[in-house]
Structure 1
C-alpha cells in the first residue's frame, strides 16, 4: 500500500504477488509481514520481510543481499514447478522495499514528525476456516498503532486517525486497487495457501495429541485455583473450557495465550477459582484435531507416597542390620584368628610336643 507520490496506491497489489498466492484446507492461513524501520543517524531505513504458513516462517528476505530465502526445507519443492520462484520473488520484494522507504517518510510527514525512530508495518494474508469460509486481511500500522485497514467485503478503507485520512483519500481515488486486493485475498492467496500446505503437509497437516493435566493451588481466601495445563499439541487451534456439572462455566475463569514450544507444538492453560468443597464438580474440557473424542479431565489426588516411604525406611533398616551382622562376623573371625595364632606360638615355645588333631 504505497503512500508515496511516485507509486500511488499500488503496494497492496504489488506485495500481494510477491511469491504469496496460496491456499489450504481447514483452519490454515498464509500471511506476510513487511517492516520498515528508521533510526536516527541512518541514511536508509532497515527493511524486513517474512512469510508465514500457519504461523510457521517459510520465507524471509535479506535486504543486504537483496534476496528472498527459504526458511524451511519443504518450500524448496516449489522450485520443481516454478524455477524462477526465488528470482521473481526477490525482485518484487526489493521493489517493495524502495516504496516502503518513501512511505515511511510520507507517514512521518502526515504526523508532522521530522526525525526520531519510527516503524511502518504492513500485514496481509488469507485463511481458510473450519467451516469452509474464507477470510482475508490487509492492514498497515505505524509506530505500533493501527494506521489503515482494508475491508474486502465492503471494498472500503478504515483510517485509524486524522493523519491516516490522507492515505484513505489517495486509495479511494483508485477504485481498481480495492478490486485487485479483493481478488488476491479471496482467490490467488487461497490457491497458494493450498499449494504450500501440499508442499509441507508432513509438518503442516500433522496432528499432535495434546497432553492435559489439572493441578491446583490454595488461595489466601480459603478458595483454591484449578489450573488446566495443555501442551504438546498441533495444529494451534484448540478449544478449552472449564465445565461445572457438565455445563460450560465462565465465572472466575482465566486463560493464557496459545504459545509455541521449541519443537513446533503449542501449549496453553486455563484456570478457574473454586470452593474446595465443590472441587469434584469441575472438569477441564478439551477438543482438538489430535483427539478422536473430546476429553474431560478433573483434578485427582496424587497417589499417596506413604507406602513408598515406609518401604524405603524398612529397606534402609534391613540394610543397616545386614551391614552390622557382616561387621560382627568379620570381627569375630579376626579375633578367632588372633587367638589361634597365640596358642600355636605357646606350644612351640614350650616344646611339649602336644599332638595337633588332623
Structure 2
C-alpha cells in the first residue's frame, strides 16, 4: 500500500477535536474501524429514549431505537450477515432491547449523581476498535461513556482499569475496577472479537467500503484579488490529502487548508486556499494543487492557471468589429439626420 508521502514543510500539526458522538480518523488506506453509539435521552422532544447505531469505516450499517424496538440493517450488504447466521438480527434485537433497559436506568442514576431531577439530558456510550489490514493488529480500542456532552468514565485497555475524569463517576470506577472478569472480557473483545466482526463486515461490504473514487477538482476565485481555492469533491474514501506545492515542495505560508466534509451521496469534499496576491503572473506555472487518495498510487496534480479558474467576476464581453461598425454607422446617420433637421428648421421648412 502506498503511504502518503508529503514534501517537507513547516506546517504545525493540526489539532483534532473529539465531539461526543463523532470521531475523525487519520487518512490511511489500511486502517478500518468498527464503532457503536448507544444513546439514552431524557425529555428530548421528538427523539426516542434510546438509540443504537453501528458504523463500519464511518458508514452506518446498524440501527435500533426504542420506538421500533427492532435492530435493522442500514446497508444492503448487511443482509449478507443473515445468510450465514439466520438468527443474527433477532439476536441483536434482543441484545439491544436489553441494553435499552439498562441505559434507561443508567441515565436516571447519572441524574441522581449530578443532583438533577428533571430537564433534558443525554447519556451516551461509544465503543469500538480500529484494525490495520496490513499488520492484522488492532491499532486502537475504545470504550467510554459521556453525560451531557462531557466525558464521564472510560476503560483503559492497557491497565484494564477505569478512568473517571469527574468526581460523580468515581463510585462507578471503584465498583467496575473490582470486576476483573468483566474487564478481562472487555480487553479480549477489543483486541480480538471486535477485529473479527470488523473483518466480516468489511468482506460483506467490500464493493462499497473498499472502493476508491477520484474527485472532480476545480480552481475557484471570488475576484482577481482574492485567494485561489482548490476544491476536490466526489472522492471516496475520506482518507485524503489536498495541498499546494511550489516547484514540488509543499507550501506552508499563504495556505489555508479546509477540513474533509461529507457529501449527500456518501462521498467527500475538501478544499485548500492559496494567497496569490504576492505571486508574479510569470511564476504561476510553478504552483500545483496536489490531491492524494488512500489506496491510489498516483497523485492528482492541478496546475495554477488563470485560464481554468472559475470566478464570480463577469468580464465585459468583447464587442465584434461588425457590431462596432454598425453602431458607428448609426451614429453617423443620426448625426446627418440631425444636421438635415437643423437646416430644414432654419429654412422654415418645419
TM-score, normalisation: structure 1: 0.72
Pick from 236, 239, 243 the counterpart of residue 238 of structure 2: 236
Matched residue, 1:172: 177
Deviations 1:218-263 (A, max 9, x none): 59xx7x4232211111111112233333222333543333222122
Instruction: Select the residue among 263, 266, 286 that pairs with 1:261.
Output: 263
1:83-123 deviation line (CA, Å, top 9, x unaligned): 11011100000000111011101111111112111100111
CA deviation map 1:117-156 (0-9, x unaligned): 1100111111224763422111111101111222223323
Contact conserved, 2:44 with 2:121, CA < 8 A, in 1? no
Unaligned runs of 5+ in 1: 1-24, 319-358
Residue 14 (structure 1) aligns with: none
Deviation readout 1:141-195 (Å, 9 max, x if unpaired): 1101111222223323222222122222221121222221111111111111111
Q: What is the aligned partner in structure 2 of residue 273 from structure 1?
A: 275
| Equivalent residue, structure 2, for 1:188 | 193
Closer/same/farther in 2, CA of residues 171 and 36 from structure 1, 3 Å limit = same
More helix by share: 1
Structure 1 window deviating more from structure 2 (64-73 vs 90-99): it is: 64-73
Tell me which residue corresponds to 1:7.
none
Once the 2 structures are TM-superposed, how far is the Cα of residue 317 of structure 1 from its aligned partner? 9.4
Match of 1:162 among 155, 158, 167: 167
Instruction: Assess, with a 3 A threshold, how the Cα gap between structure 1 residues 74 and 164 changes in structure 2: closer, same or farther.
Output: same
Displacement of 1:303: 5.9
Please give the secondary structure, in 1, of the residue aligned with 2:275.
Answer: strand
Does the 8 A contact of 2:43 with 2:121 survive in 1? Answer: yes
Instruction: Work out which of the residue numbers 211, 217, 220 in structure 2 matches 1:215.
Output: 220
Secondary structure of the residue aligned to 2:198 is helix
Q: 1:239 to 1:115 in 2, by over 3 A?
A: same
Point out the structure with max Rg over C-alpha: 1
Distance 1:28 1:316 in 2: 64
| 1:9 alignment counterpart | none
Equivalent positions of 1:81-100 (< 5 A) are: 81-100=84-103
Partner of 1:57: 60
Aligned to 1:142: 147
How many pairs align? 290
The structure-2 alpha-carbon separation of the partners of 1:130 and 1:89, relative to structure 1 and needing over 3 Å to count, comes to closer
How many angstroms apart in 1 are the aligned matches of 2:121 and 2:39? 11
Q: Which residue of 2 aligns with 1:109?
A: 112
Partner of 1:4: none
Give ranges in structure 2 of 5+ residues lacking alignment: 1-28, 310-316, 326-350
1:24-103 equivalent positions in 2, closer than 5 A: 26-39=30-43, 46-103=49-106
List structure 1 segments (4+ residues) > 4 angstroms apart after TM superposition: 312-318
